[in-house]
């Protein structure tokens, strides 16, 4: 965390925040019409909640309203006083705050400069990078020793998180036609609880254009998620260019649904500018049928198209070639090797594999272990930390590399067992954090706890975070964002904030209005987030009404 003793703001009394009233979902169209006329009044009268998402770790505020200059300028200070990433982010947020608004000019404003101080000159984005920040927004008193607004961070990535929070403090007043900051002076000191706050995107079941992936990355940054788990390839399609084995992307759906090396590098660079890692995945040995479209020798036989052939050196040469090429694209220190849902029955019915197993006195389960461990060795040789789905842990945990990160997905109670055995864990329990399960309500996303069942602080530190998963069997560009949001934001606050950030017994009054507000903020920023309280995600509103009441 940035530690600055300068500020008398530390002595500020906790104030009350400008808020939006908690409104329930319209049950019927007539009820929605009845309420819409009074919703704006209610939104102005409720003054009890902090409408920042995710909620900062520590904050205090006052009771003043400040105006923000539409020509707000950036003053960069510290070791990264010339950071292009920070200056570009400032311009993006300035466009978001003042976008399409009629703003009065030729008048004086309380906040005309935002000072960003970054202590470190290192702009490398690696796992565990310091994302802490502090924000000081002075009151309207001209004698303030702070002056206007300051963001302080140890790294540029902490500064990015601070810019997001600052942008949420800025609210357009339609009556005065000015952008205002309510309840100033503000003091915010914030940092994430987990270093890994992920979203899985599946581009195998349906191809997603580059522009769509970038829109998802932008939306992730608004909720302070920081890892895009790119599930690029699966049994249905192989859309990525691999220069070492150029026929692999013959497994794409069509010639127009592919990613070039340059596309992938562009995505990584775009994400870095938003403080987001990109963790790539190839799922082996199962989920790999699409590989054989370009290289049929990877199939055990014409009747056995997955798992990949465990007996051939060629199989592992291809894996090594893929990882070698991907290492030039993805700088993140972890690589996901899959390893789930490996159905080995056809290995036993393929003569040359059956003979290979007999010669080595191996069962198909042992061959599965052999394959996963060999893939791990290849990843480690390319300086990657291997990530595997939980089946590998359940099947042969004593054989896994000690560096393995186990990714929970299938069942509850996995992370406690994983960390008790000394491995690191990512929480993605399908019953709670699978976005493609459209009937899972936002409350379940919000109340799911990665540390559940883990009381030892040392073991808690082995849970590096969690991830919401957007599997795309029934999702593509047409319905992607409204399936992801706003439920992913519920998990995002769980991953960012304190374990006891809100009383889960009073979610409808302490969290729901804030999530409804954040959903509307996403809508204003061009993200097609669905109504919060729908029985199923991505369904339309039930009738007329305010965005804040859906």
Task: State the catalytic residues.
Answer: 341
CB atoms within 10 A of CB 397: 16
Who's near 147: CB < 8 A, 6+ residues apart? Answer: 113, 138
Q: How many residues does the chain have?
A: 550
Show the beta-strand stretches assigned E in 57-154.
Answer: 58-78, 111-118, 133-137, 149-153
Q: Which residue has the tokens 């009404």?
A: 545
Show the beta-strand stretches assigned E in 299-374.
Answer: 334-336
* CA distance linking residue 157 with residue 231, whole number of Å: 24
Closest CA to 278 of 229, 209, 240, 334: 229
Burial class (CB in 10 A: 0-12, 13-18, 19+), 204: buried
Report which secondary-structure segment, H or E, holds 277. strand 277-281
Look up residue 91 and give its two tokens.
């311009």
Closest CA to 267 of 201, 321, 322, 211: 211
Q: Which residue has the tokens 């209005």?
A: 513
Q: Which residue has the tokens 């290289």?
A: 295
Alpha-carbon distances of 283 from 306, 337, 339, 374, 450, rounded to whole Å: 11, 5, 6, 14, 24
CB atoms within 10 A of CB 148: 20
* CA distance linking residue 90 with residue 73, whole number of Å: 9
Look up residue 422 and give its two tokens.
């000394």
* CA distance linking residue 276 with residue 290, whole number of Å: 29
Burial class (CB in 10 A: 0-12, 13-18, 19+), 105: exposed
């Amino acid at each position: 965390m940035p530690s600055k003793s300068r500020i008398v703001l530390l002595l500020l009394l906790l104030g009350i925040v400008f808020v939006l009233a908690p409104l329930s979902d319209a049950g019927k169209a007539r009820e929605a019409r009845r309420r819409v006329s009074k919703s704006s009044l209610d939104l102005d009268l409720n003054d009890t909640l902090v409408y920042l998402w995710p909620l900062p770790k520590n904050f205090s505020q006052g009771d003043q309203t400040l105006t923000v200059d539409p020509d707000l300028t950036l003053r960069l200070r510290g070791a990264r006083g010339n950071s292009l990433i920070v200056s570009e982010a400032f311009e993006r947020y300035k466009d978001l705050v003042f976008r399409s608004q009629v703003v009065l000019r030729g008048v004086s404003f309380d906040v005309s400069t935002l000072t960003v101080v970054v202590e470190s000159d290192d702009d490398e984005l690696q796992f565990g990078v310091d994302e802490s920040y502090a924000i000081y927004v002075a009151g309207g008193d001209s004698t303030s020793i702070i002056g206007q607004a300051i963001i302080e961070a140890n790294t540029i990535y902490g500064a990015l998180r601070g810019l997001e929070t600052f942008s949420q403090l800025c609210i357009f007043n339609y009556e005065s036609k000015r952008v205002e900051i309510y309840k100033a002076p503000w003091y915010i000191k914030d940092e994430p609880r987990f270093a890994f706050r992920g979203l899985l995107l599946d581009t195998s079941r349906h191809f997603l254009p580059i522009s769509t992936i970038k829109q998802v990355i932008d939306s992730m940054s608004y909720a302070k998620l920081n890892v895009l788990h790119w599930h690029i390839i699966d049994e249905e399609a192989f859309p990525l260019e691999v220069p070492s084995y150029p026929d692999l992307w013959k497994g794409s759906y069509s010639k127009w649904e592919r990613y070039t090396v340059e596309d992938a590098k562009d995505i990584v660079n775009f994400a870095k500018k938003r403080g987001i890692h990109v963790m790539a995945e190839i799922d082996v040995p199962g989920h790999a049928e699409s590989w054989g479209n370009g290289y049929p020798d990877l199939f055990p036989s014409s009747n056995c198209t997955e798992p990949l052939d465990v007996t051939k050196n060629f199989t592992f040469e291809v894996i090594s070639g893929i990882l070698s090429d991907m290492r030039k694209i993805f700088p993140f220190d972890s690589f996901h090797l899959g390893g789930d849902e490996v159905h080995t029955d056809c290995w036993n019915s393929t003569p040359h594999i059956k003979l290979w197993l007999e010669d080595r006195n191996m069962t198909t389960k042992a061959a599965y272990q052999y394959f996963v461990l060999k893939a791990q060795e290849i990843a480690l040789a390319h300086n990657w930390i291997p990530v595997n789905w939980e089946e590998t842990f359940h099947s042969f945990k004593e054989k896994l590399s000690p560096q393995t990160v186990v990714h929970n997905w299938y069942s509850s109670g996995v992370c406690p067992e994983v960390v008790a055995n000394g491995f690191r864990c990512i929480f993605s329990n399908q019953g709670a954090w699978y976005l493609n399960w459209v009937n899972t309500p936002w409350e379940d996303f919000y109340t799911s706890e990665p540390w559940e069942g883990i009381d030892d602080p040392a073991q808690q530190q082995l849970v590096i975070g969690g991830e919401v998963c957007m599997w795309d069997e029934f999702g593509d560009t047409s319905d992607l964002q409204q399936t992801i949001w706003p439920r992913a934001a519920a998990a995002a606050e769980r991953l960012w904030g304190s374990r006891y950030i809100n009383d889960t017994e009073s979610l409808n009054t302490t969290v729901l209005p804030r999530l409804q507000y954040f959903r509307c903020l996403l809508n204003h920023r061009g993200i097609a987030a669905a109504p919060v309280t729908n029985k199923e995600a991505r369904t339309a509103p039930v009738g007329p009404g305010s965005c804040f009441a859906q």
